[in-house]
Structure 1
């Protein structure tokens, strides 16, 4: 079969895979130096951009400035040339996103509030090989060969081809250490239409995910009681140490160590949440052909209740606790994971308007205030109906009803609402 004929019926897909690096102390120091150099390159480029007139802000001029800086500053030259070019490309893309209304203007990257990252734009520089059942090796420019945890098959060595290959990677440091996120491109057969049943999903706090068929998907607390106590201890310790710091003074080493301990505990909770989200969304995508969720505006839901001086808010502490609980569930990430997993299996993900789903009865569709007695119980106030049952299940059935009656939202500019199998694009850290 010809090369063109072999491509028929195949779709190009891009996804990511993240793995933890096993680094020696010297390699950690080398990557830290590159990460700080990448952050400094961004900041110097940002200052240069703001100082120059608009007519002189060109890509060629910025490239010349970066080359000159890497040649004159030894600590800036530790960053590989291709990684420096990736910083320049990311900076210009950030301004493009700002001009098109997709994001705010680029800002200065502070040392302790910015996650360090290094981009490796070309996959041919990585030379990924599998050396053991659990370990692989990857080449990092100006660092050398590094081991990483092998948790899935990667297109390495003889398994790599033009249609199935690693196109690049990004090194990211979090509270646990350095990780590598591979960018993978592959050709795969278009999935057949998923003939599974339809399901509506209601996201909540007491019940994380309630399905319209009556099933509730829950999880244990992200942190154990002992871990929560240790987190509270370090947070109080950091508050006391911060109180003795002079305004504008540099953060002490002890305070920074306390911040690192807090970050490690929170990173543990984040990894457990992401693991639960991946497993849960995979099971939903495999069973159901159509998944309907609410179009939640989480930024508005978690807005502070402090108010203004003229109109101060009320119950500020209670609202702050509710906001933490909402953000801790990461509903938006759950929807993003569902989007590509449902599409990969030939299904459909749709979003419907969220207002009123908790107050409308799924049987008679009457909206009556006070029908939801508490977090778990729903009692219809319509005398002709009087349905009683689980409040979260009722809301999930309303979500599915709105989809069936043609209330699915139409995709807006830059926002994919109804996602079908033809999308074929996965976000990073896909499993």
Structure 2
């Protein structure tokens, strides 16, 4: 209740959005320790530490980062609480800390527009891309597919209300392990990519997408069944795998820490408008990856995601206040028909 009340207080004071309902089966199991003084944190050696968990006792944990007020090399501050979190790998402890941070200096880097997609995860208006490999290796993906088929076969032999068999539990654990591995690789790539963008650019423009509406099912109703349901299901799965919302969230707080700014611009027509002449029509985008302007006096052609990012950059310049933009270069004038690609393979 204390956490729930704090969430509403943050919403009313303008620090966060209003809290949403979170179903138990869709959230990680966690136990909160609200008081930092109850933890009794002690470092045993270079790799291990111990903490006091109420109603459990002393528990050892793997020491991975210095804590303010505990280790001498850490900055001044204190630990205000902790939370025990369970995932596929087991239990983890997350410490809440309070430290003094200097006000960041204004970021003097250039501005850029960023378009999120599926064929190209991130396309920048300077003509570069931020790509990644498949989250699972071919053998891992094949193993996951076989496990999912095994699970469906094992479910057929389970009667309603019957206790889950040990074999089905083991299959579910293996499936969860592969999916957790893919998620960790996704998060690793997102952190490294957003850090690089935040270090390089001072103002970043992105589309204000309503992702929840974009991934809704197209199956319709019995009276009015939907069309291309399987294709829409595959598209929804691809959008969810890329986790666009989390990428924007990471980029926003990293830009703020470095004195930069994230600007969200309206999404309509960013993929249909030619950035060179401003002509808008449905036929401009010939495919998912190719954009060809149908204006006879223009005829610009190139990557569709790059064109969208240039339109986002143009809208960002109009929405960025002059006191924030300052004397800033923008990549749109530098692009002028060249196309480069920077590939960042996922760290395994």
Tell me whether the two structures share a fold, i.e. TM-score over 0.5. Answer: yes
CA contact (8 A) 2:291 2:303 kept: yes
State the SS of the aligned residue for 2:298.
coil
Determine whether 1:233 maps to 2:146: yes
Determine whether 1:126 maps to 2:39: yes
* Partner residue in 2 for 1:347: 260
CA distance in 2, matches of 1:329, 1:104: 22
CA contact (8 A) 1:235 1:262 kept: yes
TM-score normalised by length of structure 1: 0.68
CA contact (8 A) 2:68 2:76 kept: no
Matches within 5 A, 1:337-376: 337-376=250-289
CA distance in 2, matches of 1:105, 1:336: 19
| Offset at residue 104 of structure 1 (A) | 5.6
Deviations 1:48-85 (A, max 9, x none): xxxxxxxxxxxxxxxxxxxxxxxxxxxxxxxxxxxxxx
CA contact (8 A) 2:32 2:83 kept: yes
Matches within 5 A, 1:78-117: 88-90=1-3, 102-103=18-19, 109=24, 115-117=28-30
CA contact (8 A) 2:123 2:129 kept: yes
CA distance in 1, matches of 2:202, 2:22: 40
2:55 to 114, 138, 142: 142
* Partner residue in 2 for 1:280: 193
CA contact (8 A) 1:94 1:106 kept: no
* Partner residue in 2 for 1:299: 212
* Partner residue in 2 for 1:207: 120
| Offset at residue 162 of structure 1 (A) | 11
* Partner residue in 1 for 2:299: 386
| Offset at residue 150 of structure 1 (A) | 3.2
| Offset at residue 189 of structure 1 (A) | 0.8
CA distance in 1, matches of 2:195, 2:22: 35
* Partner residue in 2 for 1:30: none
Q: Are residues 96 and 282 of structure 1, via their aligned partners in 2, closer, same or farther at CA, if it must alter by over 3 Å? A: closer
* Partner residue in 2 for 1:21: none
Q: Are residues 175 and 357 of structure 1, via their aligned partners in 2, closer, same or farther at CA, if it must alter by over 3 Å? A: same
| Offset at residue 389 of structure 1 (A) | 1.4
State the SS of the aligned residue for 1:169.
strand
Q: Are residues 145 and 258 of structure 1, via their aligned partners in 2, closer, same or farther at CA, if it must alter by over 3 Å? A: same
* Partner residue in 1 for 2:336: none
CA distance in 2, matches of 1:106, 1:96: 18
Q: Are residues 186 and 375 of structure 1, via their aligned partners in 2, closer, same or farther at CA, if it must alter by over 3 Å? A: same
Matches within 5 A, 1:153-172: 153-157=66-70, 159=72, 164-172=77-85
Determine whether 1:254 maps to 2:167: yes
CA contact (8 A) 1:118 1:172 kept: yes
Provide the alpha-carbon RMSD of the alignment: 2.7
State the SS of the aligned residue for 1:117.
strand
CA contact (8 A) 1:237 1:258 kept: yes
CA contact (8 A) 1:281 1:338 kept: yes
1:315 to 223, 228, 236: 228
| Offset at residue 146 of structure 1 (A) | 3.3
Deviations 1:160-207 (A, max 9, x none): 999611111111111111111111111111000000000100001111
CA distance in 1, matches of 2:268, 2:8: 35
Can you give the 5+ residue segments of structure 2 that lack an aligned partner in the other structure? 12-16, 325-348
CA distance in 2, matches of 1:161, 1:213: 39
| Offset at residue 153 of structure 1 (A) | 2.5
* Partner residue in 2 for 1:3: none
Q: Are residues 255 and 96 of structure 1, via their aligned partners in 2, closer, same or farther at CA, if it must alter by over 3 Å? A: farther
CA contact (8 A) 2:263 2:320 kept: no
CA distance in 2, matches of 1:97, 1:152: 28
CA contact (8 A) 1:95 1:106 kept: no
TM-score normalised by length of structure 2: 0.84
